[in-house]
Amino acid sequence: MEEKEVKRVDSGNLSKGNETSAGDKKKMSASPEEANKAAKTNSSPVRTLSKSRYLKATPVQVLKFLLSDAALPLYTPHDSNPNTSQSNDNHDITYSSSLLAPFEELLCAVILSRPISRRLGLRTIRTILNTPYSFRDPVAIKTVGHERIREALDVARTQHNDKTADEVEGLVEILMKNDWHNDLSQLRAQCKSNAESEREVLRRSIKGLRKTGLDIFYRRVQWQWEEAYPFVDQRTQDALEKFGLPRRAEGIVKMIGVRWEELEEKGVCGAAERAIGADLEKKVDEVLDEARKL
């Protein structure tokens, strides 16, 4: 029974295979030119998909994209993005896109070096620099006192509020005691515009401002202080490498100088900040994908 069954099935298949359908006749009658054309048409989507899938952005494309406005949403948390409706309406100062005075940069470095997330740190900065607090110079902070500082930190919903408030007050005390003012010009004069001397004085003077905080400060202030330029710390090097960009300061300076000479210090500062921001926001792949389209 089994043998007959197999033969029946086989014979059925063979009989169907011997029948030539209208479609088969058309395929058989097609000219060689038409056949080649059909083959190319059918295979091209696969080849195109494969090519685009593995096409990489060049370092120049990546740097160009990072320095563009289009990169902003990829290196900035949504609630710190100046292009959100609330930010636009209030004209808020933001860490990611505003030009800050050296004192403001130092204040931000103190906050960002605290053991809190970057998103929380940026929200704290946005809260204290804007109304109704506007902690933008040492005198303003000294005038309002500890309770007002603590209130601002509570509004920002940050962590370790008491310790952070103490460190902010400590920073203000040091600046006022040394008459460093908002631009920290007296500090630079005292250190004869030597970056290493400045770092050492700041490290010894300001409680809580360790290597991480100092790196954050000098990464940001290098476009204003020529003695700090160019500055690329280890954290920046790691981020730049993920984007296929040069790790060393000289490499980034050269890339920017050749194509965007007018940027120079601002370009290095911007590339460093945006590379780190996109890395921390886990948007490296998205940046590379967008850069590839340029």
b/e burial code for range 210-232 (CB count within 10 A of at least 16 → b) = eeebbbbbbbbbbbbbebbbbbb
Q: Kindly state the DSSP code that residue 57 receives in the 8-state scheme.
A: P
Q: List the chain pLDDT tens, one digit each, 294 residues.
A: 444 443 443 433 434 444 444 444 444 444 545 545 444 444 444 433 334 444 799 999 999 999 999 999 999 997 777 666 455 556 789 998 889 999 999 999 999 999 999 999 999 999 999 999 999 999 999 999 999 999 999 999 988 889 999 999 999 999 999 999 899 999 999 999 999 999 999 999 998 898 999 999 999 999 999 999 999 999 999 999 999 999 999 999 999 988 887 777 888 999 999 999 999 999 999 999 999 999
Q: What is the DSSP letter of 281?
A: T
Q: Write phi, then psi, for 86 (nearest 5 degrees).
A: -65, -45
Q: What is the pLDDT of residue 89?
A: 58
Question: Is the whole-model pTM more than 0.95?
Answer: no
